[in-house]
Structure 1
Amino acid sequence: MKVVVVGAGYAGTIAANRLVGQARDAEITVINPRSDFVERVRLHERVAATGAASTPLTSMLRGGITAQLGTVDKIGDGGITLDDGGSDTFDYLFLAVGSTVVPLPGAVAVGTWEGAELACSALAALTDGSTVTVVGGGSTGVETASEIAEARPDLRVRLVGASIATTLSPRARQRVRVGLERLRVEVVEEVVVEVCTGPGRFGGVVRLRSGAEFASDLTLWAIVADVPDLAARSGLEVNPEGRAVVDEYLRSVNDPRVFVIGDCAAVPGARPSCEAAIPQGAHAADTLARIVNGLEAQPFSMGYAAQFLSLGRSDGVVQPTRRDDTARRLYIAGRTAAVAKERMSRYAKYSSRTANYAWLSGPK
């Protein structure tokens, strides 16, 4: 049995590692555009140069798995083509290309490895008193602004978003505001419509929907809302956001040989995150193992437990949730929350590497 895994993020890595332990006769190839496993939950640390966010992929994959550097251009009927003209065939395929960031011209995306590397270099070149604008009020934006503000107190950091940390409870959102204020991050609840570059490569003027504008020496785009178009380009059915539509077993509704997992999959109730990607990858591998062993496949079910948000290295917020990911009233903050976020980040990497992961079932 020949299995191809497209993408080596959390979902793709755990799928490959889990499958090799259950289908020993499978020939598994992981195709990834870079030779490293990237911890998406640590990209804000890479931007601020406070931590690493990559590990050689070969050290993340178990023995018996082949890692191939490349980018898949199209998935066809039992075959793939690469952007360099190469091709391969498969009996089963795991599509796990994750999500991506499409910034406004003049801004640097910080939700991708390449963008984080560019942002890190641009940030290091800024002098005392420069202004950094982070666009996006979700977790990526909040964590990026906080990390930069703590690492570079000589800079003025501004966070701009239509709303800030909206998935948290009202009290937890207020605690996030307190943490940002402690770090002297200016918060502007507005929508950015244009980034006009000035003399510097990434500096210029940021314009808001209200008509207001302000100068920015570096503008970072932290809205992770897009997915690669590989599924759509390959003729798989996608939803309006471009995510591949899947059945209850996480298989493409067009081709049962193709499992779609992680941010690029339109799984009902799933929030793009490693919390959702890892169990999807594990379940898809388990499902394929059951199929090839003549057992009945089980529908995917997954429930959430909490949301984790860092506010620098020593502060954060943990928001316990119901299984449907709605916030509870209780929250945890401060150093305890920062430690919990760090442990969660380590566990996500550990689980992807070892394929050991357990999760809650979904809401009834």
Structure 2
Amino acid sequence: MKVVVVGAGYAGTFAANRIAKRMPGAEVTVINERPEFVERIRLHQQVAGTAVAATPLTRMLRAGIASRTGTVDKIGDGVVTLDDGASIDFDRLVLAVGSTVRPLPGTVPVGTWEGAEQGRAALAALPAGSTVTVVGGGATGIETATEVAEARPDLRVRLVGTAVADCLSGRARQRVLAALRRLGVDVVDDGVEEVAVRDGRFAGVLRLRSGREIASDLSLWAVVAGVPPLAARSGLEVDAVGRVVVDRFLRSVTDERIFAVGDCAAVPGARFGCQTAAPQAGAAVEALARFAEGRAPEPYALHYVARCVSLGGKDAVAQFTHRDDTLRDRYLKGRAAVLFKKIVFVGTKVGTRKAVGA
């Protein structure tokens, strides 16, 4: 059986390794736009220069898995066509292209490797006293703002977003807001409408929804919005966001040969993140293998554990959730949460490489 995996983030890399482990006779090919596996949950550290978020993909894939660097233009009837005109046949395909960012012109996207590298270089070049503005009040924005503030205390760091830290609740959320104040991050409860570039590629004036204007020497975009258009362009049924509409086994309702996992799969109740990626990849591969064996698989079911937010390298908050991702009151803070987050960092990468834990 020929299996093609499109995308080599957490979901795609996990899926490829699990297929090689679960179905040793399968011919597995991974297609990815980069020759590296990028730890997206570390990109805010890449920006701040406190960690490296990329590992050669060859070190992440099991022996026998073929990898190809390229961009998929379209998925057709059992054929993947790349933008250079090359094509690869498949019997089954796992679509794992993740989510994407749509930054305003004049800002640097934190959520991509290229953007994180741009941001790192631009941040390193800023003189003391400069202003860095992080746009986005979710986990990525908070982690970026606190990491930069801790790494560069000589800069003024501002976080712009509506309902900052509303991914958490109660005392856990208050802990995050207190950490932002402690690190000197100026929180602006507003949205950004436009960025007028001033005297540099990423320096300019941000026009907010309230009508207020604020100057910034570097503006970092930390908002995840939507998924790549590959599925829609290929004629698969997608939802309003562009995610593949799947059945309870994570197969495309348009083509049962195609499984969609991670951020690009339209699973009710699922959120963007690595905590979604590996379990879905594991469930999809098990379903694929069982169908190939003529056995009925178990349907995929959500199973979340916690929501974690780093607050620089020395503080964090981890609020526990129910299986359906609704928040519990219980949370970890300080050193305990930092350790929890480190376990997530290391465990996610190791689990992805060894295809275990889902």
**Could you say which TM-score interval applies, normalised by the shorter chain?**
over 0.9
CA distance in 2, matches of 1:299, 1:269: 15
Q: Deviation of residue 297 (structure 1)?
A: 2.0
- Displacement of 1:306 in angstroms is 0.7
Residue 170 (structure 1) shift = 2.1
How many angstroms apart in 1 are the aligned matches of 2:318 and 2:96? 27
Contact preservation (8 Å) 1:167, 1:327? no
Match of 1:362 in 2: none
2: CA distance between counterparts of 1:102 and 1:85?
27
Q: Tell me the residue number matched to 2:234.
A: 234
2:208 & 2:201 partners in 1: Cα distance?
20
* Per-residue deviation, 1:165: 1.3
In the alignment, is residue 74 of structure 1 matched against residue 71 of structure 2? no
Query: Letter of the aligned partner of 1:281 in structure 2?
Result: A
Counterpart check, 1:61 vs 2:58:
no
Unpaired runs of at least 5, structure 1? 359-364
Cα distance in structure 1, aligned partners of 2:113 and 2:99: 12
> For structure 1, which segment, 167-176 or 154-163, has the greater mean C-alpha deviation from structure 2 after superposition?
167-176
1:345 shift after superposition? 1.2
List, as ranges, runs of 4+ consecutive aligned residues in structure 1 with deviation greater than 4 Å.
none
- 1: CA distance between counterparts of 2:8 and 2:23? 19
1:336 alignment partner AA: A
Partner Cα distance (1:14, 1:269) in 2: 21
Matched, 1:188 2:188: yes
For 1:210 and 1:263, the matched residues in 2 are separated by 32
- Per the TM alignment, residue 292 of structure 1 is displaced from its structure 2 partner at its CA by 1.1
Q: CA–CA distance in 2 between the matches of 1:42 and 1:339? A: 15
Please name the residue that 2:213 is paired with: 213
Secondary structure of the residue aligned to 1:88 is strand
CA drift of 1:322 comes to: 1.2
Residue of structure 2 equivalent to 1:85: 85
Matches within 5 A, 1:111-260: 111-260=111-260
User: C-alpha displacement at 1:24, in angstroms?
Assistant: 1.5
How many angstroms does 1:74 deviate by?
0.3
**What corresponds to 1:29 in structure 2?**
29
Counterpart contact for 2:165–2:177, Cα < 8 Å: no
CA contact 1:204–1:215 (8 Å) conserved in 2: yes
- Distance in 2 (CA, whole Å) between partners of 1:227 and 1:22 is 28
Measured on the aligned residues, the alpha-carbon RMSD in Å equals: 0.8
Q: CA deviation at 1:329?
A: 1.5
Q: For 1:305-344, list aligned pairs within 5 A.
A: 305-344=305-344
Aligned amino acid, residue 318 of structure 2: V
Return the offset for 1:303. Answer: 1.4
Q: Is the 8 A contact 1:307 1:320 kept in 2?
A: yes
What is the TM-score normalised by the length of structure 1? 0.97
SS of the residue corresponding to residue 330 of structure 2 reads coil
Matched, 1:49 2:52: no
Query: 2 CA distance for matches of 1:71 and 1:267?
Result: 25
Contiguous gaps of at least 5 residues in structure 2: none
Which amino acid is the alignment partner of residue 253 of structure 1? V
- Calculate the TM-score normalised by the size of structure 2: 0.99
- SS of structure 1 residue aligned to 2:253: coil
1:316-345 deviation digits (Å, cap 9, x = unpaired): 101011111111112211121111101111
